[in-house]
């Protein structure tokens, strides 16, 4: 009985001086458990006489209650301290700079392609695409380009091995006109965008792989003024309302008459593409009755269109895929 206050104060001390949860937890069994000093005293009570047992039992029970309470109190204090420390250590500073991955984006050529498709969809045209590997007959003969035409020579055209396959990498998107007329009855209102190939060296103004967009309209009563009006509309959508177009007489085997379309943009005349009234020979080849139907066609280069509109002096900028170039067109990256 006389040792009890000393034991109690030693245990309380141990509880109060525990500085971490682990520390306190490791002492739990000797402080409050069944094997604790006070538990052992309780267990030995049976050997005492009744009066002594009652006195000591009460005192020990009270002491154990106090200690259990103190233990709980200290335990939750240490728990709260641990939580605060964890919150502090794991704090996220949302203002710190991070490694940013540039997000992807569409190439300027794809963007202008989409833009053109939207411009013509709005006035009722459909977009059709043809293969890049094309039958020589569709790329040349059906377009009234004879076998001895200079465009067919080895210098301009990529022929596919073996030569008897009569396949070429299309040199323009015009074979898509033929494919459309062969597979659809007029009225026809289409644009045909796509990649085209010519055996040119890559330099500031040439690239062996480039892109064109072809336009084709076949309907009753189509005249040159419809062509002019359509090109005016297209040019204004592409270059702004102030742009002016003009047609300059020219020659293409697949159109008669033929013209170059120029635009007056940024203070000068610039050649934009070719156009004309679809040659009745071509209509005949495609089974279109030229007494009933007439039509116009046009074709322009997309790289050239981008270069004019965005003041790009070197076509290689467009084909090389340097992000510093593409970013100006809204392609991802910071
Ligand atoms: N196919 C021509 C070229 O690649 C461009 C062209 C000119 C297309 C006149 C046309 C057209 O449809 O009518 O150079």
pLDDT, tens digit (0-9, with 9 covering 90-100), for 59-116: 888 989 899 999 999 999 999 999 999 999 998 888 888 877 777 778 899 999 999 9
Whether 97 is in a domain gets the answer: no
From the CA of 143, give the closest atom in ligand 1: 1
Q: Which DSSP string corresponds to 211-272? A: EEEEEEEEETT--HHHHHHHHHHHHHHHH-TT-EEEEEEEEETTEEEEEEEEEEETTEEEEE
172: nearest Cα among 142, 217, 205: 142
- One domain for residues 214 and 252: yes
Quick check: CB of 130 below 6 Å from ligand 1? no
CA dihedral 58, 61, 64, 66 (to 10 degrees): -60
Whether 185 is in a domain gets the answer: yes
Question: The domain containing residue 58 runs over which residues?
Answer: 4-89
At 284, which helix (H) or strand (E)? helix 280-285
Whether 99 is in a domain gets the answer: no
Q: Looking at residue 331, what is its pLDDT?
A: 62
Whether 267 is in a domain gets the answer: yes
- One domain for residues 39 and 124: no
Alpha helices (H) in 90-197, listed in sequence order: 108-121, 136-139, 175-183
- One domain for residues 130 and 65: no
At residue 31 the predicted structure's pLDDT band, cuts being 50, 70 and 90, is confident
Q: Which residue has the higher pLDDT, 4 or 233?
A: 233
- One domain for residues 151 and 292: yes
Quick check: CB of 217 below 6 Å from ligand 1? no
Quick check: CB of 145 below 6 Å from ligand 1? no
Whether 102 is in a domain gets the answer: no
Mean pLDDT of 26-40: 84
Do residues 224 and 257 touch, judged by C-beta distance below 8 A? yes
- One domain for residues 10 and 125: no
Quick check: CB of 275 below 6 Å from ligand 1? yes
When divided into structural domains, the chain yields a total of: 2
Whether 101 is in a domain gets the answer: no
| Whole-structure pTM value | 0.72
Separation CA 73–CA 94 (nearest Å)? 36
Pocket test for ligand 1, best of 251, 254, 260 (most atoms within 8 A of CB): 254
From the CA of 196, give the closest atom in ligand 1: 4
* pLDDT (tens digit per residue) in 222-279: 999 999 999 999 999 999 999 999 999 999 999 999 999 999 999 999 999 999 999 9
Of the residues 62, 89, 116, the one at which a domain ends: 89
At residue 332 the predicted structure's pLDDT band, cuts being 50, 70 and 90, is low
């Amino acid at each position: 009985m006389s040792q009890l206050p000393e034991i109690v104060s030693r245990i309380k001390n141990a509880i109060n001086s525990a500085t971490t949860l682990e520390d306190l937890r490791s002492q739990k069994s000797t402080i409050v458990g069944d094997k604790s000093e006070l538990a052992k005293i309780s267990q030995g009570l049976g050997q005492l006489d009744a009066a002594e047992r009652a006195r000591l039992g009460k005192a020990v029970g009270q002491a154990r209650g106090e200690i259990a309470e103190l233990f709980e109190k200290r335990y939750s204090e240490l728990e709260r301290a641990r939580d605060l420390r964890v919150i502090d250590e794991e704090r996220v500073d949302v203002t710190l700079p991070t490694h940013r991955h540039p997000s992807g984006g569409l190439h300027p050529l794809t963007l202008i392609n989409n833009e053109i498709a939207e411009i013509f969809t709005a006035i009722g045209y459909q977009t059709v695409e043809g293969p890049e590997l094309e039958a020589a007959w569709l790329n040349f003969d059906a377009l009234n380009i004879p076998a001895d035409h200079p465009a067919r020579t080895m210098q301009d055209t990529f022929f596919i091995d073996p030569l008897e396959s009569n396949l070429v990498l299309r040199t323009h998107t015009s074979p898509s006109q033929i494919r459309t007329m062969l597979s659809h009855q007029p009225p026809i209102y289409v644009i045909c965008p796509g990649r085209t190939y010519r055996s040119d060296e890559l330099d500031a103004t040439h690239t062996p792989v480039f892109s064109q967009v072809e336009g084709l309209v076949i309907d009753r009563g189509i005249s040159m003024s419809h062509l002019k009006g359509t090109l005016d509309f297209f040019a204004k959508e592409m270059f702004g309302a102030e742009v002016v177009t003009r047609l300059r007489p020219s020659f293409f085997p697949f159109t008669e008459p033929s013209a170059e379309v120029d635009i007056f943009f940024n203070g000068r005349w610039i050649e934009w593409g070719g156009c004309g009234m679809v040659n009745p020979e071509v209509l005949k080849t495609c089974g279109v009755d030229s007494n009933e139907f007439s039509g116009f066609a046009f074709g322009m280069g997309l790289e050239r269109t981008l270069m004019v509109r965005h003041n790009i002096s070197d076509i290689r900028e467009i084909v090389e895929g340097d992000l510093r170039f593409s970013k100006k067109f809204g392609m991802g990256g910071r």
